[in-house]
């Protein structure tokens, strides 16, 4: 059997991480225990990275093209070096023009609008179970980032989240400064 190149393995792992994280966005009144139980099912469902790439190609062809064109590498990145998507989760754009660390600071000083329910729900879950348990759960899967220049950003920060904006902001609000990410270059 011929071993697969590392780039191919990381590409499949990045697609798998995206699909599992996407499926695990907390539901409105879901308890942390229910979310953990559901995560076990999602990890089993997307056990194969090759299956994940195929699934992604059928359900999100634009992202699949990006995942298949970039080389993915696991790296440890400062949350201050990764931009969130402007207007993420219905937050006012002016609050989200910066890194995950910046947005976490902004959110610590404002009341979240109703349309930012996903952010509020993940922050509540972290409060309910405690920072240590929440951090352990949110970092099981790597976050996903691409060079910010790919999205038309220049010098604001070297990276832009492809997935994981909400998790990264909540992690930053819990005091996490760096996280494992798959970086697509």
Q: What is the pLDDT of residues 130-170, one digit of tens each?
A: 999 999 989 988 999 998 875 555 556 789 999 999 999 99
| CA within 13 Å, CB half, 84 | 32
The vertex-40 CA angle with 39 and 44, nearest 5°, equals: 115
Residue 79 falls inside a structural domain: yes
Average pLDDT value over all residues in the chain: 86
Instruction: Give 85 or 52, the one with higher predicted confidence.
Output: 85
Residue 81 falls inside a structural domain: yes
Per residue in 82-140, pLDDT (tens digit) is: 999 989 988 999 999 999 999 999 999 999 998 888 898 889 889 999 999 999 989 98
Does the structure show a pLDDT above 80 at 8?
no
Cα separation of 61 and 63, whole Å? 6
Residue 74 falls inside a structural domain: yes
Residue 27 falls inside a structural domain: yes
Residue 78 falls inside a structural domain: yes
Cα separation of 140 and 154, whole Å? 30
Q: What is the pTM of this model?
A: 0.86
Residue 1 falls inside a structural domain: no
**Separation of CA 47 from chain center:** 18
What sign does the CA torsion over 22, 173, 184, 46 have? negative
Domain span holding position 67: 6-184
Residue 147 falls inside a structural domain: yes
Q: Are strands 159-163 and 178-184 parallel, antiparallel or unpaired?
A: unpaired
Domain count for the chain, please give it: 1
Q: Of the candidates 137, 140, 124, which has an alpha carbon nearest to the alpha carbon of residue 173?
A: 124
Residue 57 falls inside a structural domain: yes
């Amino acid at each position: 059997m011929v071993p697969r190149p590392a780039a191919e393995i990381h590409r499949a792992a990045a697609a798998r991480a995206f699909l599992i994280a996407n499926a695990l966005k907390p539901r409105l009144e879901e308890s942390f225990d229910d979310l953990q139980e559901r995560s076990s099912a999602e990890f089993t469902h997307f056990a194969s990275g090759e299956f994940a790439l195929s699934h992604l190609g059928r359900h999100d062809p634009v992202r699949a093209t990006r995942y298949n064109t970039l080389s993915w590498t696991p790296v440890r990145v400062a949350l201050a070096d990764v931009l969130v998507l402007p207007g993420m989760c219905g937050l006012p754009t002016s609050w989200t023009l910066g890194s995950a660390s910046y947005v976490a600071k902004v959110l610590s000083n404002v009341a979240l609008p109703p349309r930012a329910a996903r952010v509020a729900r993940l922050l509540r879950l972290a409060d309910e179970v405690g920072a240590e348990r929440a951090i352990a759960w949110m970092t099981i899967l790597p976050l996903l980032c691409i060079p910010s220049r790919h999205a038309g950003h220049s010098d604001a920060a070297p990276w832009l989240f492809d997935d994981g904006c909400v998790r990264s902001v909540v992690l930053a609000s819990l005091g996490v400064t760096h996280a494992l990410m798959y970086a697509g270059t």
